[in-house]
Amino acid sequence: MYDYYDELGIGRETLLAQIKSQMSEKRFNHVLSVEKEAIRLAEIHGVDPQQAGLAGLLHDYAKELPDEEFQHLIKKYDLDRDLLNWGNNVWHGLVGIYKIREDFNLEDQEILQAIKVHTVGSSNMSKLDKVVYVADYTEETRNFPGVDEARKLADSDLNRAVAYESKSTIRHLCEKNVRIYPQALDTYNAFIQYI
Ligand code: GDP
Ligand code: FE
Ligand code: FE
């Protein structure tokens, strides 16, 4: 069987140690829970559990990177300069994949894409993208109003789960009076039909 740890060229213990070195204990526990939930959802919905698990483990790898490093990566890889007008919440997925590519021997474009869009989604998500986007929201340590409904939808209908999470996130951002990244609105517009 094809093994993604072979592709990385490092064993699980080394991978976990590297991830752990980049983040707080609390975030590391979140990452382990997202791995578990992504594998569970992948098995329900016919997605490769190895891809889902690895995407789950790496999805927040760049979350604690300093702003200056993200700004540097945006310029180094000649990414859309509009990204400079945003912050860590938007960067850690969309730009974080460049840090992951630098630190790991990971060229699986499907995994990288799922990590890329795990926060803002996209109007055209693969099943793997949806599993990671939803698992980040429904993993067992999450505890917020509506999480039980999100978990029910996650098990029964991935599109409805994405719609529910996108709508809840946008409502939450509106209530906090913060700007919404246009791609997050694209996700809402593409998925709200499934609510
Ligand atoms: P986490 O990394 O596990 O905490 O979860 P996410 O990557 O899904 O989200 C990180 C943060 O980004 C959360 O606080 C979201 O509410 C926030 N967020 C999601 N979409 C947007 C957006 O369009 N704009 C802004 N400013 N924040 C967003
Ligand atoms: Fe995240
Ligand atoms: Fe996360």
Structure tokens at 51: 């891809």
HSE-up of residue 132 (Cα within 13 Å, Cβ side):
32
Residue nearest to atom 8 of ligand 1 (CA): 119
Q: Is the pLDDT of residue 4 over 80?
A: no
Total residue length of the chain: 195
pLDDT, tens digit, 9 for 90 and up, residues 29-71: 999 999 999 999 999 999 999 999 999 999 999 999 999 999 9
Query: If you average pLDDT over residues 1-23, what whole number do you get?
Result: 87
The ligand placed nearest to the CA atom of residue 179 is: 1
Q: Is the pLDDT of residue 26 over 80?
A: yes
Pair 165, 134: CB distance under 8 Å = yes
Q: Give residues whose Cβ lies within 5 Å of ion ligand 2.
A: 60
Q: Using a pLDDT cut of 70, give the percent of the chain over it.
A: 99
pLDDT at 118: 99
Q: Is the pLDDT of residue 1 over 70?
A: no
Query: If you average pLDDT over residues 98-116, what whole number do you get?
Result: 97
Q: Is the pLDDT of residue 6 over 60?
A: yes
Mean of pLDDT over the chain: 96
Contacts 24+ apart (CB under 8 A), 164-171: 164/195, 165/133, 165/134, 165/137, 166/121, 166/191, 166/192, 167/192, 167/195
Q: Using a pLDDT cut of 90, give the percent of the chain over it.
A: 95
Residue nearest to atom 17 of ligand 1 (CA): 89
Q: Indicate whether this model's pTM tops 0.85.
A: yes
